[in-house]
Chain A
Amino acid sequence: MTNDNTAPASGSIMVVGGGISGLTTALEAAEVGYEVYLVEKNPYLGGRVAQLNQYFPKLCPPTCGLEINFRRIKDNPRIKVFTQAEIEKVDGNTGNYKVAVKINPRYVNENCTCCGDCAQACGIELNDEFNFGMSAKKGASLPFEMAFPSRFVLSSQIIGTEDAQKAKTACKYDAIDLDMQPKTLDLSVGSIVWATGWEPYDASKIDNLGFGQYDNVVTNMMIERMAAPNGPTKGKIERPSDSKALESIAFVQCAGSRDENHLPYCSYICCMASLKQATYVRERYPDAKIYIFYIDLRAPGQRYEKFYKNIKADENVFFIKGKVAEVSEDQATKNVTVVAENAVTGEKTSQTVDMAVLATGMQPTAANEKLPADLKYNTDGFIINDFEKGGMFAAGCANKPADVVSCNQNATGMALKAIQTLARK
């Protein structure tokens, strides 16, 4: 695009996190001429978006948007991508940072053609976190079909086992290097954008909602993986306990969000996510009853409001104003019963369904582990942007819970903030 632009100021920008926000910041800055280091802890780019089946409200697959971004990165020599990389230390000050980046070994080099022979050769099955444990993966695996970089990765868990050797032997392209070691790079940058994203809130902490206790209580990110064509069920939405087709499903909104005992804030996306997931269920089961239990439904803006209205028009989608506070399981049928008070009628409602989905919220990654830099956080772990001080900025969900559209807008703004830091140096 604008690769031959020259930047009016010198210095590089580091973007931490290769999710949708980090990709956007990196690209926006690089495409106006700045050098960018994009640091991602996973072996692939795309972050949480890569795990989604569809975006709301357009219901298009995120792979489409990600693909465009990956192509832009490939075409742009100013972006240097480090995967399986973590920030160890940030020294210095505004406009002049020294960052130590630790790069963990992938054990697979650029010769990889994604033929998959190494995975075939492996025996040990590992929990696939990309699918929230709903499937297993081999010790050598491709994170997902369109992973970027498009290269297999060996789990550190199989290093030193027979599987590692088998994988190496199976590789026809000499792409596996078991001697790779972690290395640390010291990089000088002028500004840093933290796009460290979010984690789904640990649903097992919400002890009254039955996650982890009952098989057929899942989270919204789990059903997202189920619905995805590349997911553990290849796009089928079925009960985990017996793979039965769904006749009914309940969505439990605000599962852990807007709750002082868990996440005190509104996670912003869960209402729209559940409405979207209702369309997944409807697409697969034309007659399934869908129950959505909510405190308030938040579908902000005209487009989201329209989306909500469309779903509301479905006569087999039932909206119940009342937070689910109790979940139980019938041991024989494995059906799940959710209990709420319908605040409109004032009656206690018990709804038995095939499966319940907890609309868990987003917790900033920094809530569980503080970043190795001089950053300010609010009590929930979101990074507070100090624009006066400048130099380091948070973009996307590291800063506040947001949908993809808002993240992209915010990330673009943060690219500009990072550039301004360089220009003022």
Chain B
Amino acid sequence: MSDEFIVEPDVNFIKEVSKLGGQDVKKCFQCATCSVACPISPETKPFPRKEMLATSWGLKDRLIGNGDIWLCHNCGDCTSRCPRGAKPGDVLAAVRTYTIGEYAVPKALGKAVNNPAKLPFLLAIPAALFIVIGFIIDLVFGVNWLNFSPSGEELWQADYFNNLLVDIIMVPTFFAAIGVFVLGLKRFIGDMHANAVLEGKTAKEKIDPAGFVQALVKIVPTILKHQRFSECGENRERATSHMMVLFGFIGLFIVTGCFFTAEWVFHIEGPYNQINPIKWLGNAGGIALIIGAFLMIAQRRGKKDQISSYKDWTLLGLVLMLGVTGMLTEMLRLGHLYGLSAFIYYLHLIFVWALFAYTPFSKLAHFVYRTVAMAYQEYSGRK
């Protein structure tokens, strides 16, 4: 800190962050109320005051590799105490979104995910993908994986969109997303450590992988229990809705894994019986997503001093639509409205694909970056 250095502001960075919801950053006058108001900020080198300065000066390099921006849970305690209305919570949220775009390749896709004008295009990709690939397979191999008018008494969505068609598209997408995350994390962890060393936040010189994994295991219960969330004053109720969505996703991920195994390993065909416990878990997960998303939308709409931008609404919209289309598909099938059920299922496929493909580029990537940053905090021994 004491060394002189020439500030090289990245003006474009300031503009981008402003667009992403950090437009009030310039109001900050560095009083440091936020760092004290924050219930989860560490004692040494607390955030977000220094991040506010770095953002308004356009010191991009001090932010994108800064683990502290991820320790923030955007509870809003700093924003409500801020004497200037600079909204540190929202600025950090905007910086995080920018950071996600920095680590996810290709960057152009990250830009598109945060651009409202590109939304129809992004949704058109999966919409076209299922139909086009279905047709191509039909044309080339003569296999009918796409059937618009299947016959039979009892039908389900797989009679319209064969599970093979779905899985040959979804599985590679899923692993591609993991690939993007792996590439991003590799750089992120290195940058985060370099930043911590530079700012004197850690005494560790190198990252020891075993120790890091141990730290990761240690913080998982903290995340699942939403302990950090619960320390917040201003936005405490959000912990419940966030928990519903998180557990909804975890449940549905387990369900998808089970049914994937049932189908391709044990060759048990769906649809599965409603008394199947896995099915219960699926239904509970879907309902949790819908209720959680509704609550979060209501909370965001109710909070006038918090900035809710495109990145927030698209994520909440996606969560809600995933839940709604999933549950509707099932309900319509149970109500024997097979055609309509299949159409809703098609929408559901679009959203699921969007979830897989765009997660590394969207706000949802926070679940990876925040987890890693919290693990690093634990590892680095910061209090």
Instruction: Report A's interface with B, CB cutoff 8 A.
Output: 208, 254, 258-262, 295-296, 321-326, 339-348
Contact = CB atoms under 8 A, between A and B. Distances in A.
B84 A323 contact: no
Given A325-B81, A326-B36, A295 B31 contact: yes
Name the residue among A340, A341, A345 with the largest chain B CB count within 10 angstroms.
A341
Interface stretch (B40-48, B169-177, B341-349): B40-48
- The dominant DSSP class at the A interface is loop
Contacts of B34: 325
A295 B35 CA distance: 13
11 contacts: A258-B31, A260-B82, A260-B83, A261-B83, A295-B30, A322-B32, A326-B36, A341-B35, A343-B32, A346-B1, A348-B36
User: Which one of B1, B34, B35 has the highest number of Cβ atoms from chain A below 10 Å of its Cβ?
Assistant: B35
B84 A260 contact: yes
A293 to B, nearest CB: 10
Given A342-B32, A348-B42, 7 more contacts: A254-B83, A260-B82, A321-B32, A323-B33, A326-B37, A344-B1, A348-B41
B368 to A, nearest CB: 28
Q: 5 closest Cβ contacts across the A-B interface?
A: A259-B83, A325-B36, A341-B35, A341-B32, A323-B31
Contacts of A322: 31-32, 36
Interface residues of B, number: 24
Nearest to A347: B44
B43 to A, nearest CB: 5
B339 interface: no
Interface string B39-83: 001111110011000000000000000000000000000000111
A207 to B, nearest CB: 10
Contacts of B36: 322-326, 339-341, 348
B199 interface: yes
Contact of B45 (A259, A321, A344, A346): A346
Q: Is the contact region of chain B dominated by helix, strand, or loop, or is it mixed?
A: loop
Nearest to A296: B29
B197 to A, nearest CB: 15
B85 interface: yes
A346 B37 contact: no
Contacts of A296: 29
A322 B85 CA distance: 17
A343 B45 CA distance: 9
Contact of B29 (A295, A326, A341): A295
A347 B45 contact: yes
B85 A346 contact: no
Contact of A348 (B1, B44, B199): B44
Nearest to B81: A325
A346 B42 CA distance: 11
B83 A348 contact: no
Contacts of B1: 344-346
A322 B30 CA distance: 8
B35 A348 contact: yes
A319 to B, nearest CB: 14
A347 B1 CA distance: 12
A198 B45 CA distance: 39
A323 B37 CA distance: 11
A208 B80 CA distance: 12
A256 to B, nearest CB: 9
B32 A323 contact: yes
A261 B49 CA distance: 18
Nearest to A342: B32
Nearest to B43: A348
Contacts of A325: 32-37, 81
B233 to A, nearest CB: 11
Nearest to B86: A260
Contacts of A340: 32, 36
B29 A346 contact: no
